[in-house]
A and B are shown apart, each in its own frame.
Chain A
Amino acid sequence: QKEVEQDPGPLSVPEGAIVSLNCTYSNSAFQYFMWYRQYSRKGPELLMYTYSSGNKEDGRFTAQVDKSSKYISLFIRDSQPSDSATYLCAMTPPSGAGSYQLTFGKGTKLSVIP
C-alpha cells in the first residue's frame, strides 16, 4: 500500500460546480498537510497548508483534514475554467527524521468546462 493514495482522475466538471478532491494516507505520523496546484508545464504552486485536523478556508478553497480517518480533502466552490490543473496533496511528519521529506500523492487532473 502506498503511503498516500490519490485518484488520478481525470475529473471534468461544469463551470460553477463544487469540486471535491481527496487523498487518503496510511502513516499516522503525518501532521502537516498541503495542497498544491500544478498547471501544465509549470511547477507545483502551494495552495493550502494545514496542521492537524479541522478545516481551513481561503476564498473559494477549503481544506479539510480528518486524522481519525486518515483522509484529507480540498473543496473548490464556484469552480472556474482557470481552476483547470492537476492538484497534488502532500504531507509530512513532525520535526525529526523524515520531516524534510514531503510525501506526495500522484495528483488529480481537473478540467472545468465553461
Chain B
Amino acid sequence: NAGVTQTPKFQVLKTGQSMTLQCAQDMNHNSMYWYRQDPGMGLRLIYYSASEGTTDKGEVPNGYNVSRLNKREFSLRLESAAPSQTSVYFCASSGDRGPNQPQHFGDGTRLSIL
C-alpha cells in the first residue's frame, strides 16, 4: 500500500534551472496539496487541487505552477529556480468526502538550489 509517492527524493539545481516535482496517490482521493517545509517556518501550503480539473493558490504560490494531470497525479513546477526555493517539498492528499478530511503525506523531495 504505497499511499502518496513523491519523485525524486533529492535534487540539486542551479539558479535559473527548471524542474517538475511529481506526486501520485493510490487512495482514490479527490484533493491533493503541495507544501514546503522550512526550519522555523513550519509547513506552508503552496497550491492545492480540491478535485480533478481545479487548482488554487495557497499561502506561498509565487514562483511555482501546478498541474492536476488526473485524479492520481499532481505535479509542482519551478520554472526558474531561486535559492529561496531551497526547501523540503511535501505532497499530500485527502479523502473524497469533502473538505476537513485528514491529509496523508508523502515522504518529501529535498531540493537544494545553488
Contact = CB atoms under 8 A, between A and B. Distances in A.
Interface of A: 8, 31-32, 34, 36, 41-46, 49, 88, 92, 94-95, 99-102, 104-107
B90 A44 contact: yes
A94 B100 CA distance: 7
Given A32-B100, A46-B102, A95-B98, A107 B48 contact: no
B99 A43 contact: no
Interface of B: 4, 31, 33, 40-43, 45, 48, 50, 56, 58-59, 90, 92, 94, 98-100, 102-108
Residue of A31, A43, A49, A94 contacting most chain B CB atoms (<10 Å)? A43
Contacts of A32: 100
Given A44-B90, A106-B41, A101 B102 contact: no
Please classify the interface of chain A as helix (H, G, I), strand (E, B), loop, or mixed, using the class held by over half of its residues.
loop
B87 to A, nearest CB: 14
Contact of B105 (A8, A44, A105, A106): A44
Nearest to B56: A100
A107 B102 contact: no
A95 B99 contact: yes
A6 B80 CA distance: 34
Given A32-B100, A107-B42, A43 B106 contact: yes
B99 A100 contact: yes
A43 B107 contact: yes
A43 B42 contact: no
Contacts of A49: 102
A27 B92 CA distance: 23
Nearest to A94: B100
Given A43-B4, A99-B99, A104 B42 contact: yes
A88 B43 contact: yes
Given A101-B48, A105-B42, A46 B58 contact: no
Nearest to B45: A101
Contacts of A46: 102-104
5 contacts: A43-B4, A100-B33, A100-B56, A101-B45, A101-B48
